[in-house]
Structure 1
């Protein structure tokens, strides 16, 4: 596991912790990353979500 210093959206972090029931910020981030990556589709791998939303505006 890598140690990474990042800036997080405090509101999104609090919501994630409340919804999931985890008690640490690290657990919330790891859970969110696992959830996001597990729900990705083949299309997401070919055309990442951030590029599709950026091109839509």
Structure 2
């Protein structure tokens, strides 16, 4: 596992922890990353979500 220093959205972090029931920030981030990647579609790999959102604006 890699150690990475990141700035997090405090509200999103608190909500993730409350919804998931995890007790640590690290567990919340790891859970969110796993959830996000497990729900990705083949289209997401070809056309990342952030790129599609920018085109829709």
- TM-score interval w.r.t. the shorter chain? over 0.9
Question: Across the two proteins, how many residue pairs are aligned to each other?
Answer: 57
Tell me the TM-score normalized by structure 1.
Answer: 0.99
Distance in 1, Cα, partners of 2:54 & 2:28: 26
Q: CA RMSD in A?
A: 0.3
Q: Unmatched 5+ residue regions in structure 1?
A: none
Tell me the TM-score normalized by structure 2.
Answer: 0.99
Distance in 2, Cα, partners of 1:16 & 1:52: 24
Distance in 2, Cα, partners of 1:41 & 1:53: 15
